Amino acid sequence: RTKVTLPQLRAMKERGEKITMVTAYDYPSALLADRAGMDMLLVGDSLGMVVLGYQSTVPVTMDEMVHHTRAVMRANPAALVVADLPFLSYQASVQDAVYNAGRLVKEGGADAVKLEGGRAMIPMVRAIVDAGIPVMGHLGLTPQSVVQLGGYRVQGREAAVADRITADAADLVEAGIFSLVLECVPVDLARRITAELPVPTIGIGAGPDCDGQVLVYHDLLGLFDRFQPKFVKRYVNLGEAIVKALEDYREEVRQGKFPGEEHSFR
Ligand code: KIV
Ligand code: NA
């Protein structure tokens, strides 16, 4: 496979060809996701919850994001790799935003960055894009501000909130985003925004009408079950398979069945 490009993603939207994206946080997950033919990989700050065990994405640091992005890039994926700017790495100033987006690209090796938020983040988006770094937006349920949003719940059921998300999407495009994640918004709102925007929308809990879809690797593979949002489809329960394999190993060691003759040197 040759490297996925931004014009290809735009062309996919125009052709009505769905764009596929999944999170990846390390070398093996990036290898497998790329082998599966994903168009984009997201080094999401969700890694804080599903691989580092934090209670939310808020504690995730820049150093952690760089560390995981580097591991993903060692798989040399053909998929376009987007790395999340973690909480407080871009909100305080335009200078922080450019510097930290630059770290994800320069130290991490990411192809693009993603940040959460609308109007207030426009100067940051513009400056990062001006520095030559592609930016993906993220509206709707933005987990870095989950307390302010009143919890992990659907955003944009009320007309005023829906109008604000729609206006934010247009402003982000004007500021130069190449794509937009819509998380946990009603189907109709996602469809309307997708139809209005020239750039691809990538949905998660945003219905079937977005230009593409993203899911968290550990959610779709059954490797994380502290909670399961309605929008997750679990395609396989690897967690169960792993526990079973580990129990089998433990049992065989205890019974003296492993290692066998074929695993031993004479
Ligand atoms: O961090 C993440 O995994 C994300 C996706 C849910 C869009 O931001
Ligand atoms: Na994220």
Neighbours of 107 (CB within 10 A): 15
pLDDT above 70 as % of the chain = 100
**114 marked ligand binding residue:** yes
The 10s digit of each residue's pLDDT in 204-221 is 999 999 999 999 999 999
Q: Collapse the DSSP code of 206 into the 3-class scheme (helix H, G, I; strand E, B; otherwise coil) and give the result.
A: coil
pLDDT at 228 > cutoff 90: no
Matching residue, tokens 């968290």: 216
Residue 217: both structure tokens together: 């690797």
User: Which atom belonging to ligand 1 lies closest to the Cα atom of 116?
Assistant: 8
How far is 118 from 185, CA to CA, in rounded Å?
Answer: 15
Secondary structure class of 61 (helix, strand, coil): coil
> Tens of pLDDT along 34-44?
999 999 999 99
Q: Evaluate: CB of 42 within 6 angstroms of ligand 1.
A: yes
Tens-place pLDDT, residues 164-193: 999 999 999 999 999 999 999 999 999 999
Q: Is 183 a catalytic residue?
A: yes
- Which of 134, 138, 156 has the alpha carbon at shortest distance from 7? 134
Residues with Cβ < 8 Å from 40, sequence gap 6 or more? Answer: 4, 9, 19, 20, 21, 79, 80, 81, 82, 202, 212, 214
Judged against a pLDDT cut of 90, whether residue 76 lies above it is answered with: yes
Closest by Cα among 35, 135, 137, 134 to 79: 35
Ligand 2 centroid distance, CA of 58 (Å): 10
Q: Which CATH class is domain 6-257?
A: alpha beta
Domain locations in the chain as residue ranges: 6-257
- Average pLDDT score over residue span 96-101: 99
Region for residue 76 given its phi and psi (left: phi exceeds 0; alpha: psi -120 to 50; beta: otherwise): left
Q: How far is the CA of 46 from the centre of ligand 1 (A)?
A: 6
Q: How confident is the model over 97-105, as a mean pLDDT?
A: 99
pTM for the model: 0.98
Mean pLDDT over the full length of the chain: 98
Separation between Cα atoms, residue 36 and residue 178, nearest integer Å = 23
- Mapped onto helix, strand or coil, the DSSP state of residue 214 is strand
Beta bridge partners of 84: 114
First to last CA, the chain: 44
| Cα distance between residue 217 and residue 226, in whole Å | 14
pLDDT of residue 260: 97
pLDDT greater than 90 at residue 227: no
**Is the CB–ligand 1 distance for residue 214 below 6 Å?**
yes
Confidence of residue 263 (pLDDT cuts 50, 70, 90): very high
Say how many Å lie between the CA of residue 42 and the centre of ligand 1.
Answer: 7
Active-site option among 14, 174, 183, 196: 183
Alpha-carbon distance values, 117 to 2, 120, 167 (Å): 32, 7, 12
